[in-house]
């Protein structure tokens, strides 16, 4: 969720349009479609999910590592690849975590655990965006004041820059647009590093999952 929210902003800060940003993140749902089905098929054939879960989150780690190397000249194909990895990892984890939770509880608790799983996903997405927004705005505000706070119109211009990326196209005289964009790149890099810390935490959590039997029927017959 952090990537889907901030990468389009990053692309627009570089001068791209919202449409071109949408074409980049389109690769995430493509990855989700294939990996959701594919992970289910693998679990059906093998009856195991812990190793598959670790692999899925590792794809998300790879996505964030690619983001940490980006700057204002990074080619779009690199971002498209990273979103394909992100979607593949996320789509697989949607299936893996749900089935792992269902396998860990009695059949009578399946409705409750399904609701809890989706509830925690929603809360996690909200918390993630909140954390990223806090990091982004604090870094952006501090860096802008440090570099441009001495200009006469800084008190009025800095809030406008933080609130509207289109302001980058209408900077007052004396403001170096390249320097302002470099501040945005620093702020986005701080977000990517925050994402990296969170996804590594997720990798640790997934590796601690216990392997339970994946039953083939609602009556929980053992796998043949």
Q: By the 8 A CB rule, do 8 and 29 touch?
A: no
Angle at 215 between CA 214 and CA 217, to 5 degrees: 150
Query: What confidence score (pLDDT) does residue 152 get?
Result: 83
Q: Would you place residue 92 in the very low, low, confident or very high pLDDT band (cuts 50, 70, 90)?
A: very high
What mean pLDDT is reported for the chain?
A: 90
Over residues 146-169, the mean pLDDT reads 88
Domains and CATH numbers, the chain: 2-207 (1.20.1250.20)
CA 37 to chain centroid: 21
Residue 222 has pLDDT above 70, yes or no: no
Tens digit of each residue's pLDDT (9 = 90 or more) over 14-49: 888 888 888 999 999 999 999 999 999 999 899 899
Query: What confidence score (pLDDT) does residue 224 get?
Result: 37
Tens digit of each residue's pLDDT (9 = 90 or more) over 110-129: 899 999 999 998 999 999 99
Token pair listed for 112? 């409750």
User: How much is the pTM?
Assistant: 0.86
Give the residue with greater pLDDT, 220 vs 88. Answer: 88
- Phi/psi for 208 (5° steps) reads -90, 0
Write out the DSSP string of the chain: -HHHHHHHHHHHHTT--HHHHHHHHTHHHHHHHHHHHHHHHHHHHH---HHHHHHHHHHHHHHHHHHHT--TT--HHHHHHHHHHHHHHHHHHHHHHHHHHHHHS-GGGHHHHHHHHHHHHHHHHHHHHHHHHHHHHHHHHHHHHHHHTTSTTHHHHHHHHHH-GGGGGGPPTT--HHHHHHHHHHHHHHHHHHHHHHHHHHHHHHHTPPP----SSTT-PPP-
């Amino acid at each position: 969720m952090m990537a889907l929210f901030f990468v389009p902003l990053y692309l627009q800060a570089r001068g791209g349009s919202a449409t071109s940003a949408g074409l980049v993140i389109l690769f995430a749902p493509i990855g989700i479609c294939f990996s959701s089905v594919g992970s289910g098929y693998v679990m059906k054939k093998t009856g195991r999910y812990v190793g598959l879960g670790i692999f899925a989150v590792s794809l998300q780690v790879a996505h964030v590592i690619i983001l940490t190397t980006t700057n204002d000249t990074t080619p779009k194909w690199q971002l498209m690849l990273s979103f394909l990895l992100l979607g593949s990892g996320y789509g697989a984890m949607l299936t893996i975590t749900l089935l792992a939770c269902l396998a860990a509880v009695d059949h009578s608790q399946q409705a409750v655990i399904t609701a809890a799983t989706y509830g925690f996903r929603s809360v996690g997405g909200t918390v993630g965006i909140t954390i990223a927004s806090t990091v982004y705005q604090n870094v952006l505000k501090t860096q802008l004041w440090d570099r441009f706070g001495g200009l006469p119109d800084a008190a009025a211009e800095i809030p406008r820059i933080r609130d509207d990326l289109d302001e980058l196209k209408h900077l007052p005289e004396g403001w170096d647009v390249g320097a302002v964009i470099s501040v945005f790149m620093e702020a986005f890099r701080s977000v990517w590093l925050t994402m990296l810390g969170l996804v590594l935490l997720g990798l640790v959590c997934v590796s601690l999952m216990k392997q339970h039997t994946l039953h083939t029927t609602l009556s929980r017959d053992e796998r043949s």
